[in-house]
Amino acid sequence: MYQVASAYSLSKIYNRKLHIYTNDFVYRYKLHPLLITKVFRGALYIPSVNRFILPKASEKHPGFDITLFNKVNFYNRLSLPNIFIQGYLQSLSYFYHDLGHFKAHILGNLHESYSSKFDGFLKELLPNSLSVHLRGGDKLSASNRSIYYTPSSVDQIAYITQASEATGISDILLFGDDIQYLQYFKSTLDELFNIYIFKELYDESSPLADFYALTRSKALLLSNSTFSLWAAYLSDSDDIYCLPHIYNTPYHPSVQYHTLEDLYLPNWKSLTRI
């Protein structure tokens, strides 16, 4: 999602038409329908094989990379018709000024699809809940698990308790792909909070429904995932809590330039390190 958002903003800066390559890398992500059919409807899609004949501007490292702009500026001065931009592009610096555009378009489309379906108890719960996105049954490779910080179950319970105490909210709504992992937290925390699992309350749960519900919650506790980070970017909540670090320390050389400022908005509240 960062890649498409950053590419969109860069296309505006350089007054170029946006081309989105529908390759296998993009299709593996659950937000693909949201990106392609909701946000960037009307963009031109061309086969990924064409990228090999285009001049390439590659990101040197995750996080904001000024050399990327230098390369694009160089190719732009040559008046080349197409430029291929490659990288993770995971930095708010690339697209922060367009967040309002993304928010209006994404939530506008999702509101049409889901607002009328969130009725009854769920309609009352969402604007009064602390919604927690939990990553369980993580599909990260062993090497990536050594890089990215993933809280233990004990730490995650402590983070939920911190956020609940800070907000004064005792209605906790859990989101995630692994239902057994969510049920573990529900049974563990049931005596302390009013715990609910979104998938158990909403029969038509899907990645887009989960995403929209997160944006409608009163408060958010994020995981280190694009899914919850983007829900927070588009949320109006004043109570957004994020994990105190993204990566394990010492940092792997591949992420040493990737900072919290690249991913976290300044008004978010960082939880206490455990």
Any idea which residue has 């230098």 for tokens? 70
Q: Is 32 or 41 the better-scoring residue by pLDDT?
A: 32
pLDDT at 79: 86
As annotated, the residues of the chain forming the CATH 3.40.50 domain(s) are: 118-270
pLDDT greater than 70 at residue 30: no
Cα distance between residue 132 and residue 197, in whole Å? 10
Q: What is the DSSP letter of 84?
A: E
Q: Provide the mean pLDDT of the chain.
A: 86
Q: What is the pTM of this model?
A: 0.90
Sign of CA pseudo-dihedral 28, 45, 62, 268? negative
More confident residue, 264 or 56: 264
Spatial contact of 230 and 260, defined as CB atoms under 8 Å apart? no
Per-residue pLDDT tens digits for 167-186? 999 999 999 989 999 999 99
pLDDT at 165 over 80: yes
- Residue 210: CA atoms inside 13 Å, Cβ hemisphere, count? 20
Decide if 239 contacts 44 (C-beta within 8 A): no
H helix or E strand, kind and range, residue 131: strand 130-133
pLDDT class of 243 with cuts at 50, 70, 90: very high
DSSP-based three-state secondary structure for 92: helix
Does domain 118-270 fall under CATH 2.60.260? My reply is no
Read off the tokens for 222: 């994020």
Higher pLDDT, 20 or 43: 20
